[in-house]
Amino acid sequence: MAIITACVHRSVKTVLLLLSVFLLSEALPAYWLPGNYANTTSDALRFLSDYNSTAEEVFFKSVLASWNYNTNLTDHNSKLQVAASLVDQEFSEVWALKAKQVFSKDVLNSLSEKDRTLLKDVKLLGTANLPQAEREEYNTLLTIMDRIYSTSKVYPLPNVSWSLESDLSEILANSRSYKKLLFAWEGWHNAAGVPIKQHYPRFVELSNKAARGDGFEDTGAYWRSWYETATFREDLERLYKTIEPLYLNLHAFMRRKLYNFYGPKYINLKGPIPAHLLGNMWAQSWSNIYNMMIPFPGKPSLDVTGEMVRQGYNATRMFRLAEEFFTSLGLKEMPSEFWEKSMLVKPADREVVCHASAWDFYNRKDFRIKQCTTVTMDDLFTIHHEMGHIQYFLQYKDQPVGYRGGANPAFHEAIGDVMSLSVSTPKHLHEINLVESVTSDIETDLNFLLKTALDKIAFLPFGYLVDLWRWGVFSGSTPPEEYNSAWWQLRTKYQGICPPIRRTEEHFDPGAKFHIPDNTPYIRYFISYILQFQLHEKLCQAANQTGPLHTCDIYRSTEAGAILKKVMEAGSSKPWPEVLQEAIGTREITATSLTKYFEPIIKWLEEQNVNETLGWPELSWVPPIPEGYPEDVLAEIKASAA
């Protein structure tokens, strides 16, 4: 494939970066070191208080260095970020060692359960378990992988470059040319994934070594421990099985529509779907091709992107609109630092990490979002999601540092998405003047529910499999020479998709997804996509909403806001089943509310699929390479650039 890439000898670059980081590294200042403590309950409490106030300072510096790098991808900022991470890890090491040396099991047992948990967590060293040289190597590898991903581009011609956030995502969303979609998909997976592959096995090795230092079998076991459930993996599989029939019906419907458009050459009605045809680089959301399958096209459009543009929306107005939704529930405004210091649009003068994210600077006043916002309906929902994180930060900011997190990681992801379930309703879009009138009939409802299902249900198998793959990598059951084949086995097994062109172990397609090089756990998203519907149903009851669940809008309900406030204020200071019980009256995460929400579209899909094959029994099928590929695409690009 004729894609031009800039190559450097990455092993040399790693050594040079490590050397420069070493020169920048500083010893931990004396005022950040632990003092002297006796083996008593009172001194254990004093230790926790001192740790908390010091951690706020250390973590602020570390997060600030990371922010500066993510919003300005330079070699200098990269070195400063790694150096700050090393200081952070040295801080963790010296305080953990002090706790282990001073406080006996008897003193630990004399503490309250909350304080005992905090002290146990201080003793977890994480990456600080590694010797200094390996610690530096770990941080450097993580920074290099992040940078490769964030600066990768596809070069179809020497003077033409396509970035992911604007060009490639736009092509995947809007082009219906089989060849151009293939060119964009293959180009990104090669440009972003392949260079990361050589770094990833060593990163896994170091990450596992750090986890084992804290008594975990591997990094995957450490991540799973956050959910405090002995049968976590089995519970997840059972949960997935409950939603699998929904996905199979959506998949069969989508496959038939693609078959009608692309024909039998490229779509097998008993096989997986080629991964590049679903409107998204990772086939995790299908709503971008909703216009190919609108059940009742005569009904008003549910995509308000055009209306937002017509009304002159910009990023700030979109963020203010989201803030007003939260405050209408009786929740907090964004602090002044948020508006002064967030990066809400992509700067024109520098490379940045565009992947949207929310940031807690640990000083109880500085909270920011980094997002390359465009004026679209999808980005409006993303803003609500990210602002949900900020609202969570604001609500638990006065908890000890060790409890500043979600009840489990999925809670943090679910809060903003719960807002989007209301914001996306025709009722709410009319309320904020983005649709002219509200039509209430079964056909409009089915249009709305299908579009929503193309985001929410389509995501579930991908949300599940990413960490299934990574847990296999961390455990060693998936060795480096099987990284890519194992990835595609899972994607075919769960998603029912296949690579649109031959992929080998020379490729590293997992690395073309942000959360892999960034080392962000992913199972939280799978759980949150189910949990959010449980929360939504309870909030709708509190808001005294009547009618079908999918029509509920909790806007301006302070009763619903009070439930959310209680969940968020607790942070991670209570076991998550306890938080869930207090919020919605159950200790279990189930798909009952999700099924209830989508019930009308599920029945409709079952009717449409009466003669369809559910699943992909011909799972080894792959599409042929189109004739004239990639020359036809290159000729078209060259002509348009002339």
Among the listed residues 422, 419, 440, the one whose alpha carbon sits nearest the alpha carbon of residue 431:
422
**Dihedrals phi, psi of 283, to nearest 5 degrees:** 55, 30
Distances (CA, A) of 85 to 365, 493, 515: 22, 38, 19
End-to-end CA distance of the chain, in Å?
Answer: 21
How many other CB atoms are found less than 10 A from the CB of residue 332?
Answer: 17
Q: State both tokens at 529.
A: 């996509």
Instruction: Report CA dihedral (133, 509, 454, 597) to the nearest 10 degrees.
Output: -40
This prediction has a pTM of 0.94
Among the listed residues 84, 199, 251, 267, the one whose alpha carbon sits nearest the alpha carbon of residue 483:
199
Contact between 453 and 601 (Cβ < 8 Å): yes
Among the listed residues 488, 463, 492, the one whose alpha carbon sits nearest the alpha carbon of residue 236:
463
* Rounded distance between C-alpha atoms, residue 620 and residue 492, angstroms: 9
Residue type, 577: P
Write down the pLDDT at residue 642: 75
How buried is residue 70: exposed, middle or buried, by Cβ count under 10 Å (0-12/13-18/19+)?
Answer: buried
Q: State both tokens at 539.
A: 């909030």
Q: State both tokens at 548.
A: 């079908």
* Rounded distance between C-alpha atoms, residue 133 and residue 137, angstroms: 6
Write down the pLDDT at residue 301: 84
Query: For each successive 10 residues of the chain (642 residues), what is the average pLDDT?
Result: 30 43 66 97 98 98 98 96 96 97 97 97 96 96 96 95 94 98 98 98 98 98 96 97 98 98 98 98 97 94 93 98 98 98 96 96 98 96 97 98 97 95 95 89 95 98 98 98 98 98 98 98 98 98 96 97 98 97 96 98 98 98 97 94 78
Write down the pLDDT at residue 465: 98
* Rounded distance between C-alpha atoms, residue 75 and residue 494, angstroms: 39
User: Diameter of the chain by CA atoms?
Assistant: 77
